[in-house]
Amino acid sequence: MLNLNPEQFIIKPALATINCEPNWQWKRKAPIPNYDLIYIWSGKGNLRLNGKDYPLERGTCFLFRPGDWTTATHDPSNPLVITYIHFDVDGEPEIIPNHYRVLEDRIHFESLLSQYVRLFLIDTFGAEMEGKLILKQLMIHLIRNDQQTKIELQKDEDKGLQSQILYTIREVANFVQQHPGDNHTVESLAARANFSPRYFSKKFKEITGQTIQSYIVETRIKRAEHLLHYTGMSVTEVADALGYNNIHFFSRQFKAYTGKSPSEIRMITGIQKPGLAKITSSRRKNA
């Protein structure tokens, strides 16, 4: 309704703030013929709008549209206090507020409602002109609230999506660490994550700070260091276990990352295979 000028609002005589009696019910036998703004000041209840139920509580606000079907009841021990305003518009609104919301920032909205109702309780000069201006402000308030709610919901969705992406990338990174000797490619890992290769590469670098290829190589070299330090495997065996077909390439890559050659690392540890140690010990004894 932002494209409507206040003069296009048509004031209807049906408006009031009411304290509902304990046996109050709202059952319409026909659809609503015009726009109807409903605001709940206090109390508890339930409203059914076009087949869907909505709880009624303080701050609940509806904007019914022509053709809507509604019924409502309330808790007799906690009766509703309601303001309702009927109006119509001359022209086609570009933006219409949503049917339902619960207002958190209520002070200004409630002030406008009270001002609108007071205008028509007595014969007030310029009441219709001011009423149209207030209606415009009320609609702006509702649309602004709806848009803010949409932004907040989008943020929540984005947080959930980011959390899922983070979990997926970490799972793939852990998979690489657990299987450093596999022939990992961007395509195969992206398929594991159910992402496109381009999107996967982008998100992987954002989250880990490394390209996929760099991460794979670093993981292999760290695993190679461990194997050379603690297993007694030869350089050739380590290279083969980690998927290197060329031992010279493995050695160059290893030194580029660690500053030492695989042979130097193995010599520093002094670890031998158990079988080799037994043969050496036997030879010394026989000598």
Give me the pLDDT at residue 153, please: 79
Q: For the residues of 231-270, what is the DSSP string, one character each?
A: T---HHHHHHHTT-S-HHHHHHHHHHHHSS-HHHHHHHHT
Confidence of residue 2 (pLDDT cuts 50, 70, 90): low
Residues 194-205: tens digit of each pLDDT? 999 999 999 999
Intra-chain end-to-end CA distance of the chain, in Å:
103
In the chain, what are the domains?
A: 6-153 (2.60.120.280), 179-287 (1.10.10.60)
Residues 245-261: tens digit of each pLDDT? 899 999 999 999 888 88
Give me the pLDDT at residue 269, please: 57
Does residue 169 have a pLDDT over 60? yes
